[in-house]
Amino acid sequence: MGEKTKIDWTDSTWNPLRGCSHVSEGCRNCYAEKLAARFSGHGEPYENVMRTGMLTTLWNGQVEFVEKHLLDPLKWGPVLEGIRGGSGILKVKRNRDGSVTLTRERPRRIFVNSMSDLFHENVTDEMRDRIFAVMALCPQHIFQVLTKRPERMLKYLTTSSVLRTDRLTKIVGLNFPIGTESKLQPIAWPLPNVWLGVSVENQAAADKRIPWLLDTPAAVRFVSCEPLLGPIDFSQLGPGPWPLWGPLSGYCSRHYPKIRCGCPDQTPSIDWVIAGGESGPNARPMNPDWARGLRDQCEEAGVPFFFKQWGEYLPVTADSIGPHVVEFDDQKYLKCGKKAAGSLLDGGEYKKFPEVNQ
């Protein structure tokens, strides 16, 4: 957890918070909970946010603020001492002998709170203020915020309309060198380098959470359908005369049926869709038609689609037999493990990202 991660739609994970709780069926086999359980013994990092039962260790609903990791993104590409270069950031490293070493560091995509939820009910606005302050002070990075509590995200992001940078420095607790404060400019919502997303596992979760996301001010809105536990039809999620794409395309009464016209009358839309199967010892299979449905909707609406993984099970033909072949809902699957199952969908790789100008 940190500078390197195996999550292939991001570059790094940043965890200034620890702890969470289940809210829906997609949480049943939470990967973060299983990882935290390994480090929940006496004196270990997750001791206070886990409860141990007779058979397993689970989240206890408490959330801790991790002060020592708050400033991690500033170390990955300092804004005040960084010089933009054609292929990345020239990072200044001050050596003990007083000399300076320049190293080139590319901007990163950073997944915020992979071990928690920034909008959990036990996260205070003060905690969120400090985390958003760091994101605002690192414009060279992209921060990916994913939640299952979008109604709380909407409330927070529509309460504070403007973040002034002088207030940010006080919130985050940084001491800037004399003279650099004047280089900082007022920062307004939505932060251009913060992508906001919701995690949805089936149609019921999509129906509930995506409308909240669409009402939230954001530079980029995305949906993570992982673990994908059922089909999702985006055309069922919002008003308008477009039967095919729904909020994937947005809608403008002046330019319909043109999608993503970019004019002020266009309704909010989803900019990116991630999909993937469940992993872990108790993983549930993902029907290939569910993944194909998301891919096809995204392709027709011009939305980048990222297929992350099959999970523990790979769909196989109806005549497949063997000790590791199982059948769910008239589809056969080979339980072969996440690595062997891979991420090819109908023989192709789908690893697309939104286009952003930074």
- What percentage of the chain reaches a pLDDT higher than 90? 61
- Find the mean pLDDT for residues 125-149: 92
Confidence (pLDDT) at 150: 97
How many CB atoms neighbour CB 83 within 10 A?
A: 10
Q: What is the pLDDT of residue 295?
A: 97
- Position 160 scores a pLDDT of 61
Domain boundaries defined on the chain: 107-349
Question: Once rounded to an integer, what is the mean pLDDT over residues 101-108?
Answer: 73
pLDDT tens-digit readout, 1-50: 456 788 999 999 999 999 999 999 999 999 999 999 999 999 999 999 99
pLDDT recorded at residue 158: 87
Instruction: Give the confidence band of 329 by pLDDT, cuts at 50, 70, 90.
Output: confident
- Split at pLDDT 50, 70, 90, the class of 87 is very low
Distance CA 13, CA 15 (A): 7
Indicate the pLDDT class of residue 97, thresholds 50, 70 and 90.
Answer: confident
Question: What is the pLDDT, as a whole number, of residue 302?
Answer: 87
Task: Give backbone dihedrals phi and psi of 179, rounded to 5 degrees, phi first.
Answer: 100, -20
pLDDT at 139: 86
User: Per DSSP, what are the bridge partners of residue 12?
Assistant: 110
| CA pair distance 79, 172, nearest whole angstrom | 14
Given the structure tokens 């989803």, which residue do they identify?
270
Q: What is the pLDDT of residue 90?
A: 55
Please write down the HEC assignment for all residues of the chain.
CCCCCCCCCCCEEECCEEECCCCCHHHCCCHHHHHHHCCCCCCCCCHHHEEECCCCEEECCCCEECHHHCCHHHHCCCCCCCEEECCEEEEEEECCCCCEEEEEECCCEEEECCCECCCCCCCCHHHHHHHHHHHHCCCCCEEEEEECCHHHHHHHHCCCCEECHHHHHHHHCCCCCCCCHHHCCCEECCCCCEEEEEECCCHHHHHHHHHHHHCCCCCEEEEEECCCCCCCCHHHCCCCCCCCCHHHCCCCCCCCCCCCCCCCCCCCCCCEEEEECCCCCCCCCCCHHHHHHHHHHHHHHCCCEEEEECCCEEEECCCCCCCCEEEECCEEEEECCHHHHCCEECCEECECCCCCCC
Q: Give the mean pLDDT of the chain.
A: 85
* 2/7 Cα distance (integer angstroms): 11
Q: Let me know: does 297 contact 272? Beta carbons within 8 Å.
A: no
Name the residue with higher pLDDT: 179 or 344. Answer: 344
Residue 275 burial (CB count, 10 A): 26
Q: What is the pLDDT of residue 49?
A: 97
What are the tens digits of pLDDT across the range 247-281? 676 655 555 555 556 666 667 789 999 999 999 88
pLDDT at 82: 41
Residue 241's Cβ-count burial label (10 Å; 0-12, 13-18, 19+) is exposed
- Give the mean pLDDT of 156-169: 72
170-214 pLDDT, tens digit each? 787 766 554 554 455 566 678 999 999 999 999 999 999 998 998
Residue 127 has pLDDT above 90, yes or no: yes
Query: What is residue 249's predicted lDDT score, i.e. its pLDDT?
Result: 61
> pLDDT by residue (tens digit) across 280-289?
889 999 999 9
